[in-house]
Amino acid sequence: MVGSDLMMDAAKGNDAQESYFPLAGRLGAIRRMPGWKLMLIAIAFPLVLLAVSSLQPHEFYEAGSAARFWSLNIWTLHLPMFALLVGALAMKWGGLKAADLGFSPRGLPALLAAPLLAWVGTQLTLSLVSGSAFSMPGAAQYPAFAANLFATGFNEEGFFRGVLFVQLGLLLRHRFKLRDHKALVVSGLMSAIWFALSHFQFTLSDFAVIALGGVIGCLLYARTANLYFVIGLHGLFNAPLALFSVSDELAKLVVIGWMLALAATYPLLRGVMETGDGRSR
């Protein structure tokens, strides 16, 4: 009886953890890539980043504005990387399907709904705490926002959260017999560190900030099991589109607060974040 009670308590604990982090409960349905392939793909990210960066036609953009240069720079960097790393390596060579990476049609509404809700909340917050006049300084960021949403967001979240975070979790679950939620905690920290290292930021403060961003990305994905939610908020964080004259750091800090708030209340927001077709991820 004691043994059965302990098993029931453990099962209840797992159910509670899966209710907070639904991704943990879905790991068993995701294809697992061989560990050696995963390691090679992880190593490929910084190498491909350097290679594609060196091939970018910077001279073509020099006549344009800074905003145009930045947005075109993002498109020509991250879309080729996404096609190669996620499309060719993870899917074709690694044998993963779109649903294994989190790209399910069911979660697609969150790609725009999540950043829209976070943006509205951010502007309301900034209007209360900044005391600044309405001036729309973020208007120049719209090209960069689109590029960050559809290029950077898909590339970095698709690779670091969709591939590396989840596949490391599956590897730890398979090789070291870790429970789903523990495997995700460890893989989240590991993938966040690699996320920071792959940005080639060599100061401790920059490394810590980017690693923290990686942890937050993993937390959002684990909480919602909707990669489009994370992609949309990634785009807004990189280009907050502020309506008030505030520092970019303050705007991004407020965006982070709303990212976490939306993730915490995700079960209540599921109606606007997911389609109701009933298909599984």
pLDDT at residue 149, as a whole number: 94
Q: What is the 3-state secondary structure (H, E, C) of the chain?
A: CHHHHHHHHHHHHHHHHHHHCHHHHHHHHCCCCCHHHHHHHHHHHHHHHHHHHHHCCHHHHCCCCHHHHHHHHHHHHHHHHHHHHHHHHHHHHCCCCHHHHCCCHHHCCHHHHHHHHHHHHHHHHHHHHCCCCECCHHHHHHHHHHHHHHHHHHHHHHHHHHHHHHHHHHHHHHHCCCCHHHHHHHHHHHHHHHHHHCCCCCCHHHHHHHHHHHHHHHHHHHHHCCHHHHHHHHHHHHCCCCCECCCHHHHHHHHHHHHHHHHHCHHHHHHHHCCCCCCCC
Residue 95 is predicted with a pLDDT of 97
pTM: 0.91
pLDDT of residue 113: 98
Q: Which of 170, 187, 166, 178 is nearest to 102 (CA)?
A: 166
Q: Which residues make Cβ contacts (< 8 Å) with residue 275, sequence separation at least 6?
A: 105, 106, 108, 109
pLDDT recorded at residue 20? 92
Per-residue model confidence (pLDDT) at position 64: 53
Residue type, 36: W
Q: Please tell me the predicted confidence (pLDDT) of residue 201.
A: 78
User: For the chain, which residues score pLDDT lower than 70?
Assistant: 1-18, 57-69, 132-133, 137-139, 277-281
Q: Are 281 and 104 in contact (CB under 8 A)?
A: yes
Tell me how far CA of residue 167 lies from CA of 100, 144, 164, 170, in angstroms.
9, 30, 5, 5
Q: What digits encode the pLDDT tens for the residues 49-81?
A: 999 988 876 655 555 555 666 778 889 899 999
Query: Radius of gyration over alpha carbons of the chain, in Å?
Result: 20
DSSP bridge partners of 244: 134
- How far apart (Å, rounded) are the C-alpha atoms in residues 212 and 219? 10
pLDDT confidence of residue 60? 53
Q: In this predicted structure, what is the pLDDT of residue 192?
A: 98
CA 238 to chain centre: 12
Burial 48-65 (b: 16+ CB within 10 A, else e): bbeebeeeeeeeebeeee
